Structure 1
Amino acid sequence: MKNNKSFTNLYRFLDIFILFFLIFDFGFTIDDTYKPYKLVGFFVIVLLLIAFNVIKSYQFKDKSSRKSVRFNIIFLLSTLIAATSFILYNYDYSIVELTVKTKVIFEIGLFFYLLIRLTFLIKYIYKIYFNPAILFVGSFGIFSLIGALFLMLPKVTTHGISFIDALFTSTSAICVTGLAVLDTANDFTQLGQTVIMVLIQIGGLGILTFTSFFAYFFKESSSFSEGMYLKDFTASENLQDIFKIAVKIVLFTLGLECVGVFFIYGSINDVTSVENKVFFSIFHAVSAFCNAGFSTSSTSFYDPGLRFEYSLQWVIMVLIIFGGLGYNIVFNILTYLKNFIINLFYKTRKLKSVRVITLNSKLILVTTSVLLVSGFIYFYFFEANYTLKEHTSTFGKVTTAMFSSVTPRTAGFNTIDYTQVATPSLLFVMLLMWIGASPASTGGGIKTSTFAIATLNIFATAKGKKRIEINSREISSSTVNRAFAIISISLIVIGMAIVLLLFFEPNKTLLEIAFECFSAYSTVGLSLNVTPTLSYNSKIVIIIVMFIGRIGMLNLLFGMLGQIGQKFYQYPQENILIN
């Protein structure tokens, strides 16, 4: 038993060593003289990992653990064989050239190996300590800090970066916000932009979704409490096949992003201002679907080479809308379309008429449609003599107006200069930012369902009704209470942030500060060119606001205060004067 424990500790030490080895490899530049030694180091590390995993496979008694370890062995062997084959095939290269080209194979292999190990570590943490809200908040906090440390590596930036700027950028990426104190295009190398893209992907999906994906892939057992948490995170209505849903979420996300990459690449094929078109397509597909708003263009899509590429903007809009709808809504729609097609073309397999589209889906789809259409109409008419003036064609005006309606709802890209937007339009944008995307999506804000419930409750109260009724369904009082709690908390947090920023930034106007705070809380990323000029204290405030906006203050309070047990008594009622 003692030997097994010592071996396990040695195994973990090797994981930590690999992590630091990769950090050194990625983040620091070394002389050509030492590069061959680094290649030898890669071979030694992979061979050690294979040996350790072989020994580990004989220590496990359960089949699922053995299967995961054997997968590691196969994965590491494949990496070793691929690297060796490359060296044998290109033996005429110099040792330095072989090192530079071969180390990429090792880097990819070891990175995914550590990712798998990390997901199992997180899974173990969920088993020994389960508080959904605290773990949710903690995972975002830890990854924000890890991301900041990676962004401080020498090879990640072009001129170096301070810790506060690295933490700001990392938090903005992991919280899929898009506010940037540095120019992503010029201040970060392609490696730095890749780190930001990975943080965006992790923040958009959530770490437990990745964990559940690998757990299902390796047929690992999962606890009931873990399933309950994933059920809440994905907004699923039951526990049946909950881990299959996590797999569907990951595959759907990656699949749609791949489609997005294809169409983005096709739409910028003739754009000369974009140098690396493949990386540009991948980065913006991930950033758009995750509603992050980061761009490898200094002025986002307001860049002269991209401003009039309307086909590109429509691709970005579709990705933003799909990411902002939420996975449960998209899957619900796909189920409905599948049944509709079967009923339409296959009479012999006609499905029974059942309630496929849920009330939640209907409410969110209607609210989203109303916001998109109203936003388009507003921008098309009220910005005709302002930001739309430079677009001469009707299609160009329609595209720009629609893009301006879509992107404030947590996406953060821009095809217009928001400093030139009329003040009434800025206030309308702040409203759209505050409402945000839908629940269980990659976006932020108070959510479309919250706004819809609050609006319906106003009409119900005005009519003297004690409950909200929609399509022969009644909205529970707990849902209404939660909606108004979220609205109250959002206004309190934004209000406090505005007051603090006005104190720390006396030279900026109230409108600039308010716009920045609404954008930070709703994880949008739009700015009136305020973010790069923020002081140290103001950056801390915005970091906290972005973090709260992504994880939700209500989730944090649930985790800190805990849920009070059900009480089986009721006090006498007494009315309080309202208005």
Structure 2
Amino acid sequence: MEKDSLFKIIYRFFDLIVLTYIVFDFGYSIHEEYHTPKFIGLVLIAIALFAFNVFKYFYYKSKGRKKVALVNSIIIGVLLLISFFISIVNIDLHYLDVLRKIRPILEAGLIFYFIIRLMILVRYVYEVYYNPAIVFVGSFFAIIILGSFLLMLPNATTNGISFTDALFTSTSAVCVTGLIVLDTATDFTTVGQTIIISLIQIGGLGILTFTSFFAFFFRGSSSFKEGLNVRDFIAQDTLKDVLKTALNVVIFTLSVEMLGALFIYSSILDNPNIENKVFFSLFHAISAFCNAGFSTLSSGLSESYIQFNYYMQWVVIVMVVFGGLGYNIIFNFYQYLKIYVLEFFDRNRIHKQVSIMTLNSKIVLYTTGALLLGGFVFLWMSEYNNTMNYHKTLFGKITSTAFNAVTPRTAGFNTIDFTEFTVPTLLFIIFLMWIGASPASTGGGIKTSTFALATLNIFAIASGKTRIQLLGRRISSESTSRAFAILCISLIVIGFAILALLIFEPKGTDLLSVVFECFSAYSTVGLSLNFTPTLTEPSKYVLIVTMFIGRIGMLNLMIGLLRQINHQFYEFPKENILIN
């Protein structure tokens, strides 16, 4: 036990050294005369970490701990070997130039190592804490605060940043909203933009999903409490294979984002106005799939040299729709399609496997399709003689309309200044923003299933039915009650946000801009009528709280705080309340 305690102390010491090096290396401009000891220190840290993990591998008897030490040793060892090979190839260069060449490789290794250690810490925290809802909310809050301090590092911005603006930007990134008080393109450096896109990725997937991914990858097991936490975040019905599902979610997300980045890169390959095309592609692929709406262009996708890149816009559309559907819907549809194809080509397989498309998947897909089609038709009619005049071809008009029908579904990208839209169009976009994406997705809003259940319940009550029946299934009363609770909470929160902004903003502020901003913030969309940069200090905090509540869900927080462990096995006398 004494040696285990000593190892923990050594680990904490290495964690502190690695964190300090990363912060000062990326966050601060270091004088030229300190570059040599800094590079040498980087190599020494990497060698020390490698030696320590090798020693740990031979010392520990537990298979789980040996596996962690082995993986760490392999990762650091491979990076050291690559660095050594580069040094041999460039042996004729000055040693300082050689160190400059191997520096990015070792720095990437240190960052990855620190992420692993951070995930282990987070995993420990939510293993010992019993309330999944509070852990879920707390994880977002912790990442937002950490992101705020990282964005305040000198090298993250071009002209500095206040804590309020850093907190607003961090909240917008973690909550995958896209509202900005500073220009992401000009006010943030590459380091700052990298921090933002990292926060978007963590916010889109959730720190619990990442933690479970590393836990499953390194250890292949998890605790019961960990399964409960992750199950709630990824909307899994049972605890069976919940950690494996989290692993699949991360792999699927990263794969789609890499594929999207390749398509975006191919669409801008001949564009001389975009300098770092690889970073641009990765940034927009992650931002699109996570429905974040952040862009490294000052005017977003409405920038003149990218506005008519229809190929890229269709890539973004597909990424946004995939990200907004939800992982359980995509996986369920994949299983259904897989069984259908196998049965089609092999008739002997018929009835051997049951191809089940869940009612939840059907509701989400039908509702999403109806909203996309309805949005397209409405925008085509309302904007045909207005903003669509910018596009000379039929394909351009179709692309523009489809893009503007998809982007309010919590994506937040724009190919045109939204202030040019007509009032009916803006009101319809507010409606689309309010509905948002689907459950367990990277998007926000009240969700498509909530809107569908509320609509179906209206027709059920009007028809004199006591329950909702759809496609041979009966919807549970708990689902209906939860849907109406979410509807009420959303309108209450948005209403208070609108009232607060009207109080804090100067007299004469445009009401439509305020309403549009608050719906966009709560639904984590990120669209704005150029109102966000003009916000007063108190209004920024109002929107910070609104974005946070919209992302984590006020109902989730209330359930975590108010739900009692004991169940009531009695009922009071029933009495009807007069309504309407």
Q: TM-score range by the shorter chain?
A: over 0.9
Q: How does 1:242-281 map to 2 (within 5 A)?
A: 242-281=242-281
Distance apart, 1:353 and its partner CA: 6.3
TM-score (norm 2): 0.97
Q: 2:572 aligns to what SS in structure 1?
A: coil
Q: Quote how far apart the aligned CAs of 1:355 are.
A: 4.8
Give, in whole Å, the separation in 2 of the partners of 1:124 and 1:138: 14
Counterpart amino acid of residue 559 in structure 1: G
What does 1:553-572 correspond to in 2, within 5 Å? 553-572=554-573
| More deviation, 241-250/517-526 | 241-250
Q: CA deviation at 1:471?
A: 1.5
Deviation for aligned residue 1:56: 3.2
1:31 Cα offset (Å): 2.1
Following superposition, the deviation at residue 468 of structure 1 comes to 0.4
Asked whether the 8 Å contact 2:175–2:524 carries over to 1, the reply is yes
CA offset digits 1:132-190 (Å, max 9, x no partner): 11111111111111111111111111111111111111111111000011111111111
Preserved contact between residue 445 and residue 522 of structure 1 (Cα < 8 Å): yes
Task: Give distance in 1, aligned partners of 2:102 and 2:47.
Answer: 16
Aligned to 1:400: 400
Is the Cα–Cα contact under 8 Å of residues 178 and 293 in structure 2 kept in the other structure? yes
Alignment of 1:11-410 (within 5 A): 11-352=11-352, 354-410=354-410
Return the alpha-carbon distance in structure 2 between the equivalents of residues 3 and 67 of structure 1: 19
CA distance in 1, matches of 2:524, 2:184: 17
d(CA) in 1 for partners of 2:450, 2:349: 39
Alignment of 1:538-557 (within 5 A): 538-557=539-558
Q: Deviations over 1:328-352 (max 9, x none)?
A: 0001111111111111112344454
* Cα pair 1:36 1:95 within 8 Å, conserved: no
Q: Secondary structure at the match of 1:465?
A: coil
Q: Residues 445 and 549 of structure 1 are in contact (CA less than 8 Å); yes or no, is this contact kept in structure 2?
A: yes
Measured in 2, the distance between the counterparts of 1:2 and 1:564 equals 39
Counterpart CA distance in 1 for 2:94 and 2:427 is: 61
- Tell me the residue number matched to 1:532: 533
* Residues 410 and 526 in structure 2, CA contact (< 8 A), matched pair in contact too: yes
Are the aligned partners of 1:212 and 1:246 in contact in 2 as well (CA < 8 Å)?
yes
CA distance in 1, matches of 2:34, 2:466: 75
What is the SS of the residue equivalent to 1:307?
Answer: coil
8 Å Cα contact 2:335-2:355 kept in structure 1: no
Measure how far apart 1:407 and its partner are: 0.3
Q: Which stretch has the larger CA shift, 173-182 or 381-390?
A: 381-390
What is the CA–CA distance in structure 1 between the aligned matches of 2:127 and 2:552, rounded to whole Å? 21
Q: Deviations over 1:11-54 (max 9, x none)?
A: 21220221111110111111222111111111221222223323
Cα distance in structure 1, aligned partners of 2:353 and 2:3: 62
Q: Runs ≥4 in structure 1, deviation > 4 angstroms?
A: none
Larger mean Cα displacement after TM superposition, 8-17 or 514-523: 8-17
Q: Deviations over 1:537-578 (max 9, x none)?
A: 111111111111000001111222233532111111111111
Q: Distance in 1 between matches of 2:467 and 2:353?
A: 29
Letter in 1 for 2:205: L
1:359-381 Cα offsets, whole Å, 9 max, x none, are 00000000000100000001111
Which is further off, 74-83 or 50-59?
50-59
Amino acid in the other structure paired with 1:551: I
Distance 2:413 2:4 in 1: 53
8 Å CA contact retained: 2:132, 2:232: no
Aligned residues: 579
Q: CA deviation at 1:237?
A: 2.5
Given residue 486 of structure 1, which amino acid in structure 2 is its aligned partner? I
Q: Which amino acid aligns with 1:511?
A: L
**Which amino acid in the other structure matches residue 469 of structure 2?**
E
Counterpart of 2:450 in structure 1 is 450
Tell me the secondary structure at the aligned position of residue 388 of structure 1.
Answer: helix
Listed as ranges, the gaps of 5+ residues in structure 2 are none
SS at match of 2:50: helix
Whole-angstrom CA distance in 2 between matches of 1:71 and 1:35: 30
The 5-angstrom pairing of residues 458-497 of structure 1 reads 458-497=458-497
Write the distance in 1 (CA, Å) between the matches of 2:560 and 2:407. 32
1:252 Cα deviation after fit: 0.8
Q: Please give the per-residue CA displacement for 1:406-447, whole angstroms capped at 9, x wherever unaligned.
A: 000100001121111111111110110000000000000000
Aligned partner of residue 373 in structure 2, secondary structure:
helix
Partner of 2:574: 573
CA contact (8 A) 2:27 2:156 kept: yes
Task: Find the aligned partners of 1:60 and 1:562 in 2 and give their Cα distance.
Answer: 42
Contact 1:231/1:238 (8 A) holds in 2: yes
Shift of 1:128: 1.2
Letter in 2 for 1:267: S
Residues 190-218 of structure 1 show CA distances to partners (whole Å, capped at 9, x for unaligned) of 12111111111111111111111111112
Which moved further from structure 2: 234-243 or 370-379?
A: 234-243
Counterpart of 1:518, as a letter, is F
Q: Percent identity?
A: 55
Separation in 1 of the partners of 2:404 and 2:184? 22
Residue type of the partner of 1:358? T
TM-score, normalised via structure 1 length = 0.97
Distance 1:163 1:441 in 2: 30
1:391 partner letter? H
Cα 1:442–1:344 change in 2 (3 A) is: same
Tell me the CA shift for residue 58 of structure 1: 4.7
Which stretch has the larger CA shift, 530-539 or 75-84? 75-84
Structure 2 SS opposite 1:523 = coil
Distance 1:541 1:100 in 2: 45
Shift of 1:271: 2.4
CA distance in 1, matches of 2:293, 2:495: 24
- 2:429 is aligned to 429
Shift of 1:272: 2.8
Shift of 1:395: 1.0
In 1, the alpha carbon distance for the partners of 2:118 and 2:365 equals: 37
Amino acid at match of 1:529: N
Residue 115 of structure 1: how far off its partner (Å): 1.0
